[in-house]
């Protein structure tokens, strides 16, 4: 199948834009690889320190077996990461069986946005991505590893680990997931109870029961938010094994896939004949394939920030116009909550990523000629893993959707486009996700109500102040202001107003997660208000138009350009719960449209 013209054009544009930075990056990792296996260049004293606690230290000191370094985001507070507790033992056994040695190189922090939503801790969330990249860099700095295995799932964890894997791009990298928890209370029922609680129709006891029935066991949350979008991305980019993203924890298939991942990590080192540096897997085509997957699945808007940061670590420069243009050409093939009623387990059972990749390859919407940890070519990712004893074999995956209410062919999609639009206007530049927004709500023209944080919005809601169509502007929420927290806790409130018949929209320089749902939200607006961006000049009562059809975002006030911007008070976000430690990050963070990076 001939490559789709838009995919070809956008890839060429990215390649041309990134010519100097990508070339410099490839030269850097080539120089790092020239010396061959890393341990050989350590002194005897260095090596003795590195191997002292290992049972097989004599093997390490006297042979050239590959040494695999594990970078783990394990903690037992996050349901998605709790299964990783057992993974190092599994990986050691599998590594030894494959003729390798294995060490846990280091751990990285992993925080849960579901715990910190609407709380001060959420202001550390985005920056935790860069901390994870730094921590993984420290782990790998011992320079003892011929290959690497990354254990991470959730929102900022995978992007941070990818940034580190790209920075150490001369080392092969295999990403191994833990899988989603089994299905619990349906997501639409959970959302209904949340809205009832926001409206005062049910109490906290009913709300707590619904939440506990939804988030109920080890594994990733089952809605299609950022965590599961990350897993999709790793498969589309060839950093997971085929079909491994959405297999439940604690199952024989899950463990066998982990073993198979370790075998690949051992096979692709510089000591063998299949050397595959991570930096060669992460090329322009791989990132374009990842963006295609994001649009076809209706994935999280957070990745519109994370993917540019990941790509930049590999010397590739992305822009939100790349996301927009790809979205305009890629059909929405999946309806997974919040874009539908199904969860990721239902999506996986309906044919999942293997079926989707096959369809997108057949229609020319993916680059087939890419390097992956599974070998050359993306066509291997149409296969489905099956157990044969305790081993994995890959069979032909689904060639027809098994549930067209959840997953549809590219020729007969749920929507012609991926549902992500870039926005431009006198309020700045940002994005909106419309795949779950009804068509009659994609253009909102109304008076603005301006707030400086989400608590002010909640207070106004409780006071009954929203009685007409409103564009809710929440500013001073960008990376330089307070770390750019998600404003997901506003979703139930805005949904209640919408259900009352009002036309409402959110405009913010902050973030909304992949769970943002049916309320139109113009997000990631740059330049952000705290550095004098246009949102700082909006006033209560201004007429604001959010048009997701034409991609415009404007304030109609005649004196708008001549107004002095509102001043930003950093005090509320400057201390408490570790926020004081992140002042240097807030001072240098890049704009959201470029990934809001600190270390890249």
Residues belonging to the binding site for [4Fe-4S] cluster are: 154, 221
Strands 375-376 and 371-372: antiparallel
Q: Which residues contact 478 (CB under 8 A, 6 or more apart)?
A: 484, 509, 510, 525, 526, 528, 529, 530, 531, 533, 591, 592, 596
Q: Which two tokens stand for residue 534?
A: 């246009």
Q: Which of 257, 293, 560, 537 is nearest to 393 (CA)?
A: 257
Token code pair at residue 439: 């068509």
Instruction: Look up residue 85 and give its DSSP letter.
Output: G
CA distances (Å), origin 224, targets 24, 389, 435, 501: 36, 32, 13, 27
**CA angle, residues 212, 223, 440, in degrees to nearest 5:** 120
Whole-angstrom distance, CA of residue 209 vs CA of residue 364 = 46
CB 474 within 8 A of CB 510: yes
Residue 438, Cβ density class (10 Å: 0-12 exposed, 13-18 middle, ≥19 buried):
exposed
Distance CA 97, CA 93 (A): 6
Residue 511 structure tokens:
């973030």
The DSSP secondary structure of 534-599, one letter per residue, reads: GGGG--TT-EEEEETTTTEEEE--TTGGGSPPPPP--GGGSSSTTGGGGHHHHHHPPPGGGT--S-
Asked if the bond preceding 527 is cis, omega within 30° of 0, the reply is yes
Pair of tokens at residue 450 = 């301006």
CA dist 61 and 69 (Å) reads 16
**Helix, strand, coil tally for the chain in percent (to 5):** 45, 15, 40
Cα–Cα distance, 182 to 72 (Å, whole number): 23
Which amino acids are annotated as binding site, given as ranges?
154, 221
- Characterize 540-555 residue by residue with b for buried, 16 or more Cβ atoms within 10 angstroms of its Cβ, and e for exposed: eebebbbbbeeebbbb
For 422, the token pair is 């870039």
E strands, 287-437, are 371-372, 375-376, 383-388, 391-396, 420-425, 428-433
DSSP code at position 111: -
Lookup result for tokens 């959420």? 122
Instruction: Please report, to the nearest 10 degrees, the dihedral formed by the alpha carbons of residues 401, 402, 406, 408 taken in order.
Output: 20
CB 309 within 8 A of CB 272: no
DSSP 134-187: HHHHHHHTT---SEEEEE--STTHHHHHHHHHHHTTTS-EEEE---BPPP-S-H
């Amino acid at each position: 199948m001939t490559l789709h013209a838009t995919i070809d054009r956008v890839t060429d544009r990215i390649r041309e834009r990134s010519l100097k930075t990508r070339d410099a990056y490839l030269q850097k990792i080539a120089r790092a690889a020239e010396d061959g296996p890393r341990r050989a260049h350590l002194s005897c004293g260095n090596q003795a320190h590195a191997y002292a606690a290992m049972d097989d230290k004599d093997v390490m000191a006297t042979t050239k077996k590959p040494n695999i370094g594990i970078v783990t985001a394990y903690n037992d507070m996050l349901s998605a990461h709790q299964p990783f507790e057992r993974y190092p033992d599994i990986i050691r056994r599998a590594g030894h069986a494959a003729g390798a040695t294995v060490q846990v190189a280091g751990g990285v922090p992993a925080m849960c946005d579901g715990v910190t939503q609407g709380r001060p801790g959420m202001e550390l969330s985005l920056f935790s991505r860069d901390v994870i990249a730094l921590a993984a860099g420290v782990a790998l700095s011992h320079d003892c590893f011929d290959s690497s295995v990354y254990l991470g799932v959730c929102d900022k964890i995978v992007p941070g680990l990818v940034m580190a894997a790209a920075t150490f791009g001369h080392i092969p990298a295999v990403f191994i997931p833990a899988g989603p928890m089994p299905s619990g209370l349906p997501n639409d029922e959970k959302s209904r109870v949340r809205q009832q609680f926001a409206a005062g129709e049910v109490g906290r006891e009913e709300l707590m029961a619904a939440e506990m029935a939804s988030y109920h066991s080890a594994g990733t949350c089952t809605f299609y938010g950022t965590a599961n979008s990350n897993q999709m991305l790793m498969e589309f980019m060839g950093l997971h094994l085929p079909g491994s993203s959405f297999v439940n924890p604690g199952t024989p298939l899950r463990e066998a896939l982990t073993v198979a991942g370790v075998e690949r990590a051992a096979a692709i080192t510089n000591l063998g004949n299949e050397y595959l540096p991570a930096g060669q897997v992460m090329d322009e085509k791989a990132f374009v394939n990842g963006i295609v997957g994001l649009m076809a699945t209706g994935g999280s808007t957070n990745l519109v920030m994370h993917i540019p940061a990941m790509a930049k670590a590999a010397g590739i420069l992305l822009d939100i116009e790349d996301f927009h243009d790809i979205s305009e050409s890629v059909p929405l093939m999946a309806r997974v909550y919040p874009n539908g009623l199904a969860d990721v387990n239902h999506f996986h059972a309906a044919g999942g990523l293997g079926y989707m990749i096959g369809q997108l390859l057949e229609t020319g919407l993916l680059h087939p000629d890419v390097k992956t940890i599974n070998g050359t070519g993306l066509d291997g990712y149409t296969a489905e893993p099956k157990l044969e004893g305790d081993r994995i074999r890959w069979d032909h995956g689904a060639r027809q959707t098994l549930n067209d209410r959840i997953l549809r062919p590219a020729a007969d999609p749920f929507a012609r486009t991926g549902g992500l639009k870039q926005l431009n206007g006198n309020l700045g530049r940002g994005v909106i996700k419309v795949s779950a927004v009804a068509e009659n709500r994609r253009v909102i023209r109304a008076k603005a109500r301006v707030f400086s944080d989400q608590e002010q919005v909640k207070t106004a809601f409780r006071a009954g102040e929203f009685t007409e169509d409103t564009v809710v502007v929440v500013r001073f929420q960008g990376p330089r202001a307070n770390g750019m927290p998600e404003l997901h806790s506003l979703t139930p409130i805005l949904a209640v107003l919408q259900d009352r018949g009002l036309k409402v929209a959110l405009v913010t320089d902050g973030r909304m997660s992949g769970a943002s749902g049916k309320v139109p939200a113009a997000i990631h607006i740059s330049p952000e208000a705290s550095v004098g961006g246009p949102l700082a000049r909006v006033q209560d009562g201004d007429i604001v138009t959010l048009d997701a059809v034409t991609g415009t975002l404007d304030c109609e006030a005649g004196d708008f350009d001549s107004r002095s911007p509102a001043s930003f008070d950093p005090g509320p976000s400057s201390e408490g719960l570790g926020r004081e430690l992140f002042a240097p990050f807030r001072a240098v963070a890049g704009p959201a449209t470029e990934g809001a990076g600190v270390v890249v």
